[in-house]
Amino acid sequence: MTTFSKRSTVCTTPNAIAIALEKLRNERVWVLDLTMSNPTRATILRKGSAILEAFHRKANLRYDPAPLGLLRARQAVASDYVKHGIALPAERVVLTASTSEAYSFLFKVLCDPGDQVLVPCPSYPLFEWLARGDSVELVPYRLVYDGVWHIDFASLEAAIGSKTKAVILVNPNNPTGSYVKASELQRVASYGLPVISDEVFGRYAFRPETEPGTTALALEDALVFVLGGLSKQAGLPQMKLAWIALGGPERLVGPALERLEMLGDTFLSVGTPVQHALRKLLELEQGDGLRAQTRYNLAWLEKQVAGTAVTLLRGEGGWSAVLRLPRVHSDEAWALLFLKEDRVLVHPGFFFDFEDDAYVVVSLLPSEVQFQEGIKRLLARVQLSIS
């Protein structure tokens, strides 16, 4: 008899928004996509030729397997951190093909099936699938908003149990845009658990004064895994290169590196050309253009929502903005209304596990023309619905 694993179960029922979107696309109706978060589709100027030139190297014709990544590429990551004021030895950098793969490696290194990892809520929806793939159970802890986002430590502490193997921080968080404050970091570290700090959006502070956000690499006593990658930092997800930067006492970092090396040796998943190109790709600082785009759209959005029934929640960084709408509809009903009546696609808050109604999330990456048109339609619809 052929059976399949529970952890590879495919969810086949599309939600109402996906169904409505497909219908519109089949009818060839153009939809303004305010969920667009693919940096390669952002219309800002790109450094295309310089990127391609970085790959034109003889060294790419050779294969020298390196489980943790080629030393020169690990050094490139370390230099980039140093350039941004963070000390990081190259020996503590591990390369992976994506942040998703980094999560999977870390779940394997830290957890046995059935073990638990704490995750912020609301946050990145992919955690559920990543954890399921490694038979790890996620236990949420709350992020609360009262004019500013912060960790609800009562919920975090209540979530810690005998099976807890790590705490995940997303810094800044997707989609709330909240950085983990230095005092919060210290408190999380005080539990003695390994900390996985996803800092893929770390360089995307909305306001210059927030830069650089506090990195978990500043922690000295806990075993820390900071995640970063080309996908967000350089807007190059197609290159498939991410990293884990390890921090903490050598007696913990050493064995963690040994295990990561064993996993890296099993998969050897990072391509050689992107490793040789890495230093150049990082030096190009492509993220600058994306950051300018997000800041521009956000500043415009702030002005537009002022004095309306829509509240823009205060975020500090990342690629998205959270809007609180009047609770005359659920978040899903609002998203459906915008899509069907206004041809504007937004993410409903439930997609990120927001506790209450009615939040929607918009990406700050679309061109200003599309962004402004989409937001104008959204605000007009809200005004109409409450008058």
Ligand X SMILES: Cc1ncc(COP(=O)(O)O)c(C=O)c1O
Binding region for ligand X (CB under 6 A): 98-100, 124, 170, 174, 198, 200, 229, 231, 237, 242
Minimum CB separation from ligand X for residue 213, in Å? Answer: 13
Minimum CB separation from ligand X for residue 161, in Å? Answer: 25
CA distance 49 to 52: 5
Nearer to ligand X, 361 or 382 (CB): 361
CA distance 236 to 281: 9
Q: Tell me which residue of 315, 253, 280 sits closest to 50, measured CA to CA.
A: 280
Please confirm whether the linkage preceding 212 is cis (ω < 30° from 0).
yes
3-state secondary structure of 62: coil
CB 287 within 8 A of CB 234: yes
Nearer to ligand X, 127 or 336 (CB): 127
The DSSP output letter for 105 is H
Minimum CB separation from ligand X for residue 318, in Å? Answer: 8
**Please, what's the largest Cα pairwise distance for the chain?**
67
Minimum CB separation from ligand X for residue 37, in Å? Answer: 6
Sequence-ordered alpha helix ranges (H) in the chain: 16-26, 48-53, 71-83, 99-110, 127-133, 153-159, 182-189, 230-233, 250-267, 272-283, 287-305, 331-342, 368-386
3-state secondary structure of 120: strand
3-state secondary structure of 7: helix
Nearer to ligand X, 174 or 297 (CB): 174
Minimum CB separation from ligand X for residue 238, in Å? Answer: 10
Minimum CB separation from ligand X for residue 206, in Å? Answer: 16
Nearer to ligand X, 286 or 305 (CB): 286
Minimum CB separation from ligand X for residue 338, in Å? Answer: 22
Nearer to ligand X, 117 or 305 (CB): 117
Nearer to ligand X, 98 or 305 (CB): 98
Nearer to ligand X, 122 or 247 (CB): 122
Minimum CB separation from ligand X for residue 69, in Å? Answer: 14
CA distance 77 to 133: 28
Residue 377: both structure tokens together: 């339609």
> DSSP string covering 140-190, please?
EEEEEESSSEEE-HHHHHHH--TTEEEEEEESS-TTT-PPPPHHHHHHHHT
Nearer to ligand X, 194 or 229 (CB): 229
CB 338 within 8 A of CB 350: no
Q: Tell me which residue of 108, 102, 116 sits closest to 259, measured CA to CA.
A: 108
Minimum CB separation from ligand X for residue 310, in Å? Answer: 24
Nearer to ligand X, 212 or 255 (CB): 212
